A and B are shown apart, each in its own frame.
Chain A
Amino acid sequence: MRTYHQLTDPDRSGLADQIGAQRKRVAERLAGVRRIVAVMSGKGGVGKSYVTAHLARGLARGGRTVGVLDADLNGPTIPGLLQVPHTAQPPAIGLDGVKCISMGHFLDAGAPLAFRGPTAESFVWRGAMEASALREFLGDVEWGSLDILLLDLPPGMQRYIELCDILGNPPPVLTVTIPTPESRDAVRRAMRAAVDRGSELLGIVENMVGGELKGTAGDELAQEFATPVLTRIPWHPTPDTWNRLAAQL
């Protein structure tokens, strides 16, 4: 009996072609984006979205056209940080003219992300649904011409891996950590995964510095991965803090 690859007749479903068309759509849509940067961390609660939103505003104040893709589908916070109305259609325009797309645009206020479908074994298809939503965010937003598109990733590595698959190329990565050893250990894994996938490490942002959180995670990770600590963000940063970070990208 012949095997799958030995059957070469044209398939009317054209599933491979449909997947190819999806990738082409993403590539065409992002053709007007000069630079894509993924903001990531292996650790939750380090302020990735906060850094992303304020960095985006700093870049915009510096004269660049900026978009933010909120890839945290289950905990979208970018619309709030950029003060975008809940009902705005993507791409919405936020503070300092930053454009954004977020699952928050599609959810009812306060509602968790839930997909219609069978509840039994939903773990089987839910991950694919989220990856598909990310693909639509990348392929369906009419950004126009952008100098930089920041991708705000959730904790963990799953979304980063999906992103690499959808984009076809691993995006450059800006890493966010807090000073603690626990953060260092979690972020190290994420940075290792990014390096293994081939992403360029742009540098480290050490957030929440100067308060109760003790440690040297930023310096240790910088040394280990031979990448700079771009800035240390204090508990009460000013616009200048973000402008200085933006000037380094």
Chain B
Amino acid sequence: MKFLCVECDQQMAFGERQLPGDGTLAATFKCPKCGRVVAMLTNPMETQLVSSLGVEIGGRTVPAEPFEMVRANVVTAERPDGPTAPAWSVEAQERLSRVPSFVRGMVKKIYADYAKERGITEITPVIMDTARAELGLEGM
């Protein structure tokens, strides 16, 4: 991908890359003519897609290690998949118990994934309401 400063008709130059640790990525690009800086922010899925290609935004600073992608990304007991599963408050568990049993497992996973991807350690009714609004899960 490239960035164009439309006003100056100039290709913007890569500035810096930040990996905040929550699966997202931030990269800045600067117009060499007017100095305007824009930031490209990717969500975890977009970041993962770039990472899965074995390339690095901003360029490589060190040569690739053997089996770098496999060793870093394949889930093992030593390298679990991110943070541990979030806890459920008593109130959230009670609310979950009111979900029809045939979809309860799916609903529970949706909330758990939502919390995990945002670094939320405990699911409460407030978190459930927020997730429901953000994900369009009315009725769950």
Contact = CB atoms under 8 A, between A and B. Distances in A.
B82 interface: yes
A116 B45 contact: no
Contacts of B2: 4, 7, 11
Contacts of A131: 52
A140 B72 CA distance: 15
A2 B69 contact: no
Interface stretch (B8-16, B89-97, B99-107, B119-127): B8-16
Interface residues of A, number: 43
Q: How many residues of B sit at the interface, in one of the four size bands?
A: 35 or more
Interface in B47-89: 48-49, 51-60, 64, 66-77, 79, 81-82
B4 interface: yes
B59 A115 contact: no
A207 to B, nearest CB: 30
Contacts of A7: 2, 4, 11
A2 B2 CA distance: 11
Nearest to A17: B59
Contact of B66 (A103, A133, A136): A136
Nearest to B116: A119
B23 A117 contact: yes
B79 A136 contact: no
Contacts of A117: 23, 44, 48, 51, 73, 81
A128 B52 contact: yes
B6 interface: yes
A76 to B, nearest CB: 12
B4 A125 contact: no
A116 B14 contact: no
Nearest to B135: A120
Contact of B45 (A14, A103, A125): A125
A11 B67 contact: no
Given A9-B13, A132-B69, 4 more contacts: A106-B67, A115-B73, A128-B52, A136-B54
12 contacts: A7-B11, A12-B13, A15-B57, A18-B54, A25-B64, A111-B75, A114-B74, A116-B72, A124-B49, A125-B45, A132-B53, A136-B68
